[in-house]
Amino acid sequence: MAPEPPAPAQEPPQGKDPATPARIVYFLYLAGILIHLLGVIGVITAYVYRGDASPWLQTHYRYQIRTFWMGLLYLVIGLFLSAFLVGYLIFLWWLIWLTVRCVKGLKTLGRHAPVPDPETWWF
């Protein structure tokens, strides 16, 4: 008999996926690359939903909130350093960094698994 594939970390209840708000936050962050106000809406959403979330989902909200604040720090540093042209490299780094974090978060969220290290500054 063949071994069974591993089950996801958490099964969503029938008819309602508790991960939907977290998924929306990731997409708001990605859309926020073009329309910056959407990133602010995303972080507010993460703050609102994190209190009632299950522990595995709370790791996603923590990761999202940290992504917003760290990304804002990168953007402010890039803004100040853009006078020396180094800031444009920081803006490029922020773009890549944000995209990778959102894609990895969405991938983990799709498996209904917690973020392995929500405290990380990297990806």
* Cα–Cα distance measured from residue 119 to residue 46, given in angstroms and rounded to the nearest whole number: 15
Residue 59 covered by a domain:
yes
Residue 82 falls within a domain, yes or no?
yes
Q: Has residue 10 been placed in a domain? A: no
Can you tell me the mean pLDDT for 59-80? 97
Over residues 11-15, the mean pLDDT reads: 57
- What pLDDT, on a 0 to 100 scale, did the predictor assign at position 121? 87
- pLDDT tens sequence across 14-68: 668 899 999 999 999 999 999 999 999 999 999 999 999 999 999 999 999 999 9
Largest Cα–Cα separation, the chain: 65
Tokens at residue 49, please? 């939903």
In a domain, 89, yes or no: yes
Q: Is 8 left (phi over 0), alpha (psi -120 to 50) or beta?
A: beta
Write down the pTM of the prediction. 0.86
- Indicate whether 5 belongs to any domain: no
Tokens standing for 109?
């969220």
| Residue 119 included in any domain | no
User: How many domains does the chain fold into?
Assistant: 1
- Closest-CA residue to 50 (of 116, 115, 121, 123): 115
**Domain extent for 63:** 20-110
- pLDDT tens digits for range 91-105: 999 999 999 999 999
In a domain, residue 117? The reply is no
Q: Considering only CA atoms, which of 117, 98, 121, 90 is closest in space to residue 39?
A: 98
- Band (pLDDT 50/70/90 cuts) for residue 11 is low
In a domain, 48, yes or no: yes
